Amino acid sequence: MSGKPGYHGRILEVDLSSGKSRTVAIPFEDLDKFVGGQGLGMKLLWDRLKKPGVDALSPENPLMFVPGPFSGLPVPSSSRTCVVTKSPITAPLKSEHRHASTVTYSNMGGFFGPEIRFAGYDGLVVTGRARELSYIVIDDDKVSIRDARKFKGMRTDAFDKAFLEELGDRKYKTVYIGPAGENLVPYSSIIHTAGRAAGRGGSGCVMGSKNLKAIAVKGSGQPGVADHERFLSALEKARRALYGTTYAKSWAEQGTARAIVGNSNAGTESVRNYREGTFTEADKIGGDAARRDVWVRDFACYCCPLACKKSGVTKGKYGGVVHDGPEYETGVMLGSNLMISDMPGLLRAIYNIDDLGLDQISTGNVIGFLMEAYEKGMIDRKFLDGIDLKWGSVDATLAMIEKIAAKDGVGALAAQGVANLSRRIGQGSDKFAIHVKGLELAAHNIQGNQPRALSYVTASRGACHMSGDDIAMQNRRAMLDSTGMCFFPTFEPALEEPMLELLSAITGHEYDKAEFEKAGERIFNLEKMFNYREGFRRGDDKLPDRFFEDAFTIGAKKGAVLDRKKFEDMLTTYYRDRGWDSETTKPSETKLQELGLENI
């Protein structure tokens, strides 16, 4: 132990170029200021990339797996690991740096983060590039880099089984990439067990650029706490806030799929490439339908009472085992957004995307864009390699998924994301190329939801539905993703007090609500400074024209469209309230000093 309560005080750094590993001490000040997870990962990234413009796919760009202080302790829903790196998919409108891009962070559940802490580390940093496809094995202090060439091109489901056989010990927790990551698709993901992914921002592409197929971790220790008696008392309060409650039971019943019908009815769903907010056949792919026709088992991440993950079986042409889904994002982006209401077909698309190691959100967005361009005659079947990419076509969707992962034919263009696709197609297609800073929007439509529009344009990693719809929410969520706790249980108000008490008891640093949110504000501002240094300015906080010009024609929000002037006024107010310059968006010196970032 480091002498810092709640932490090991060290990270494991593996350099794939040299084949060497070492442990590096974390300054106590960084643990107090940036906590863990997203925050500590951001500080590590800032310290390692001292100059802007580093190519995200260069050996220099670190790929970091950072749990939080809750990880590895029996705190409810403390399963999360934040994967932090520089994004290979985002870009500013103008920059003097050719490879300018945003920070990216992708938060995944499961068991990997807690196992990193069991092994004696507060994070894992991977740098360099292996000469051949390789994998890393970590067993407490024993670290090795091994040949993975025999696994080249293997899809994630088959690899998961083969890898555990290779390791000969099911106690290892593993993460890995599929063919999409090996092929450097910019929006490829990192997969961890069935249906869990670090999906957003292209972390799988960065992992692929390092010739790294997988990482396996096994540990035999556990982090300590500053005040054990206080920890146990707060732990009991946290458990009582969640276990057996109506709220927890609702998550176990339908997970996030319960929102598929609800958001469609509310007119806030992404439908037909964000043209509408209501999908008239949402009931065919929603939580009730999945519970009735598909799911046979609920399963949970580390120490979680919500059990929002699902598995089951479908039959027929697209039948097979369902590892997970539909969730809200996957069900909407591959369902409502593409006008697909065939449940087995939808689940086959979700499965294939995970199996190939792609981001579900970006993939669904890209295919929706191409469907609209095809419908409008901007592209033809020749452009699409003969695929009849019509709305609602499962077969065409499955074909496009394969081509994207392989970068085959039209897939090589589609793999570059909607921003680059629209530049290639032209003809005004940028109006319905739905992205911010190059990262595709998620499954929440915004013609009738202006606060969510603010979230998309001001989030640090490009279009992000998880960042928060206002300043207070953004600060809070940045901090939540730094603790290791899942976002979902925090909707339960009774959890707030014991969560703050747990964090204080574990770390020895006293957190009330104000201190918690100030730490989140510090993290968010450091991310902003990283992006600003890369060349991002107010002009990059821009939404596609669709949201200002194409009003909904059906549903509860029929006629809804964003007002451009009101939106710009809202942005100006946001920057002012953040303490940022309203023209450049640079955080003021006063704000940086207030947050203890004066040396940034």
How do residues 194-211 score in pLDDT, each as one tens digit?
Answer: 789 999 999 999 999 999
Select the more confidently predicted residue: 321 or 458.
Answer: 458
The reported pLDDT for the residue numbered 2 is 56
Judge whether residue 434 has pLDDT over 60. yes
Average pLDDT, the chain: 96
108 assigned to some structural domain: yes
**How far from chain centre, in Å, is Cα 579?**
27
The reported pLDDT for the residue numbered 367 is 98
Q: Give CA angle at 195 (329, 43), nearest 5°.
A: 80
Q: What is the pTM of this model?
A: 0.97
Q: Could you tell me how many residues make up the chain?
A: 600
461 assigned to some structural domain: no
Could you count the other beta carbons within 10 Å of the beta carbon of residue 320? 13
Mean pLDDT, residues 300-313 taken together: 92
234 assigned to some structural domain: no
Whether the CB-CB separation of 435 and 544 falls below 8 Å is answered with yes
The reported pLDDT for the residue numbered 1 is 44
What is the tally of structural domains in the chain?
1
Paired strand residues for 142 = 139
How do residues 509-564 score in pLDDT, each as one tens digit?
Answer: 999 999 999 999 999 999 999 999 999 999 999 999 999 999 999 999 999 999 99
Mean pLDDT, residues 113-117 taken together: 98
Query: Which CATH number characterizes residue 27's domain?
Result: 3.60.9.10
183 assigned to some structural domain: yes
Q: Report residue 479 as tokens.
A: 């901090």
Shortest CA distance to 555 belongs to which of 258, 269, 260, 259? 269
Mean pLDDT, residues 453-470 taken together: 95
298 assigned to some structural domain: no
How do residues 311-360 score in pLDDT, each as one tens digit?
Answer: 999 999 999 888 888 999 999 999 999 999 999 999 999 999 999 999 99
Q: Which residue has the tokens 């918690």?
A: 516
Distance separating alpha carbons of residues 291 and 307, to the nearest angstrom = 14
171 assigned to some structural domain: yes
Judge whether residue 76 has pLDDT over 70. yes
Judge whether residue 261 has pLDDT over 90. yes
Paired strand residues for 86 = 103
**What's the pLDDT band for 441 if we cut at 50, 70, 90?**
very high
114 assigned to some structural domain: yes
Residues of the domain holding 167: 10-218
Q: Report residue 380 as tokens.
A: 């033809």
23 assigned to some structural domain: yes
